[in-house]
Amino acid sequence: MHFYVSDRVLLLFSCWNVHSLTGMLLTMMVILLIATVYEILKVLTVKLDKKALDLITPTPLTAEEVTETAPNNSARNSSSRQRWIRLHSSQSLLHIVQVAISYLLMLCAMSYNVWVFLSIVVGAGIGYFLAYPLINRC
Amino acid sequence: PGFNFTTGAMNMSMHDHHNHHNMAMPTDTPHQTANGSGGHGGMMMMMQMTFYFGHKNVELLFPGLVINSVGGMVAACVVIFLLAMLYEGLKIGRECLLRKSQVNVRYNSMPVPGPNGTMLMETHKTVGQQMLSVPHIIQTMLHILQVVISYFLMLVFMTYNGYLCIAVALGAGAGYFVFSWKKAVVVDITEHCH
């Protein structure tokens, strides 16, 4: 098994059988897009992790509130717990999607086709370049 | 038939173990089309699908790179060990660089005394994540390098050669051992700066 340059490749599914230049270009576009989406999801995960960490670590203000208003605090606790559950389930969902895409990309790379490999790498670059500043801004 | 995950390589192994696997196996037709139109049926024959130890006829990533001797295998293991170390170093180095650039930005925006507080806050937040800034472009380049190395390591592991797999694992371990120590120090520094 070694890298080869060719416009013929069989990717993932038996129906995804590329044997022409236009087909290869189309395939490259699709894989570029998938790799870009994968990077965006990765950055999104980091962002969500940060958010979850903020939810878990209590601010010093809540410690004071505990002594002052107990019922108010419990209501607040339950709402924050609900928020945490929602956040955690969306994180899990994101993780599933991410694992699936990463395995698909890995299997694509395993075709040893240079063009496919290049589009994965370039897609990863584009995705990181765009997603990191954009997602961290908001 | 819409759900057979079949790279050309996978197909071969499935064919080999045809008798043992009676799970959702496609018929032999996709396998034949894969070899017929793929144009690379010949090289797929070498694909190993179980771990083995050996230093004869191990093909490594590139066309001319075939290991056939003990010396060649040792050299390949050393190179892959270093590559895996580099990967770990790159991961941690990027993190350090990111933290450093963010610290720099914080200091740069500090001395700007805005007429009102809100202005100051906003510059504080956005300057660090500009798309067309040198730190981010460097980060992107390093990210691409990291992706390439990680895929190379994955493909090396997929040769199923025991020696090469051990080299990858040990390299990752050694890299983490060497570089994570530095990471701890850097974390310490930034915490002092706060």
Residue in B9, B131, B143 nearest the CB of A110: B9
What is the arithmetic mean of pLDDT over B6-11?
42
First to last CA, chain B: 59
Domain that holds residue A98: 82-137
pLDDT in tens, A46-86: 888 888 888 777 655 555 555 555 555 666 678 888 888 88
B5:A13 CB<8 A:
yes
* Residue predicted with more confidence, A120 or A54: A120
Structural domain tally of chain A? Answer: 1
B17 confidence band (pLDDT: 50, 70, 90): very low
Give pLDDT, residue B71: 93
Residue B29 confidence (pLDDT) above 90 = no
A104 confidence band (pLDDT: 50, 70, 90): very high
Is residue A91 a part of any domain in this protein?
A: yes
Is residue A2 a part of any domain in this protein?
A: no
> What residues of chain A lie within 8 A of the CB of B148, using their CB?
121
Residue A22 confidence (pLDDT) above 60 = yes
Residue in B1, B9, B151 nearest the CB of A1: B9
Give pLDDT, residue B115: 58
Q: Say which residues have a Cβ less than 8 Å from residue A27's Cβ, sequence separation at least 6.
A: A9, A11, A16, A18, A115, A116, A119
Is residue A21 a part of any domain in this protein?
A: no
Give pLDDT, residue B108: 52
Q: Where are the alpha helices (DSSP H) in chain B?
A: 8-16, 28-38, 41-44, 70-109, 117-126, 134-157, 162-193
Residue type, B48: Q
ipTM, 2 decimals? Answer: 0.79
> What residues of chain B lie within 8 A of the CB of A17, using their CB?
33-34, 37
Beta-bridge partner residues of B59: B66
Is residue A107 a part of any domain in this protein?
A: yes
DSSP per position, A60-128 = HHHHHHHHH-HHHHHHHHHHHHHHHHHHHHHHHHHHHHHHHHHHHHHHHHTT-BHHHHHHHHHHHHHHH
What is the arithmetic mean of pLDDT over A25-31?
95
Give pLDDT, residue A87: 87
Is B32 touching A (CB cutoff 8 A)? no
Domain range summary for chain B, segments of one domain joined by +? 70-106+133-192
Shortest CA gap B145–chain A (Å): 9
pLDDT in tens, B78-93: 999 999 999 999 999 9
Give pLDDT, residue A60: 58
> What residues of chain A lie within 8 A of the CB of B43, using their CB?
1-2
Q: Which of B143, B150, B156 is the best mutation test for A, with the most CBs of A within 10 A?
A: B143
What is the arithmetic mean of pLDDT over B37-64?
71
Is residue A131 a part of any domain in this protein?
A: yes
Report the range of poorest mean pLDDT among A16-25, A98-107, B100-109.
Answer: B100-109
B42 confidence band (pLDDT: 50, 70, 90): very low
Report the range of poorest mean pLDDT among A93-107, A112-126, B101-115, B124-138.
Answer: B101-115
Give pLDDT, residue B5: 40
Give pLDDT, residue A57: 72
